[in-house]
Amino acid sequence: MTAADTQRLCDVVLDETIGRATPDVEHERAVAIFDLIEENSFEPVGHDKGPYKLKLSLIESKLVFSIATQADEPITTHILSLTPFRRIVKDYFMICESYYEAIRSSTPSQIEAIDMGRRGIHNEGSQTLMDRLDGKIKVDFDTARRLFTLVCVLHWRG
């Protein structure tokens, strides 16, 4: 097996106990999980026996990454404070609401301008997530982007 076969996620699950979100948010969740499974780079530091299963949840306002092997053997759990994400997620929610409204009633140039802002905030959140995972889980930027989308979905639900 190559590193591409083992340093990756094979399954991602979001905590379902916090409920469902709007159809737009649920669509974002489904696309992010599909894209994440299709292409990702994910390796818990000190463990190279993947592929891995990831469960994301919110517990007492903390982000929880529960990682297991493909055979469901627990590897590690990382708990991250959401404080560094609060402003970014709030800004991301606001611009997403504007974006969803714009795609229903605005011109293509207006939609494009909002989408550029949305991507910029999303990139900022993705970089913050990479920084917070440093020394715990190795991910590439595209994987961090998809994971940040899922962090936002958890917020929307919670």
| DSSP conformation letters of 21-56 | --HHHHHHHHHHHHHHHHS--EEETT-----EEEEE
- pLDDT tens digits for range 110-156: 999 999 999 999 999 999 999 999 999 999 999 999 999 999 888 76
- pLDDT tens digits for range 66-112: 999 999 999 999 999 999 999 999 999 899 889 889 999 999 999 99
Q: What is the pTM of this model?
A: 0.89
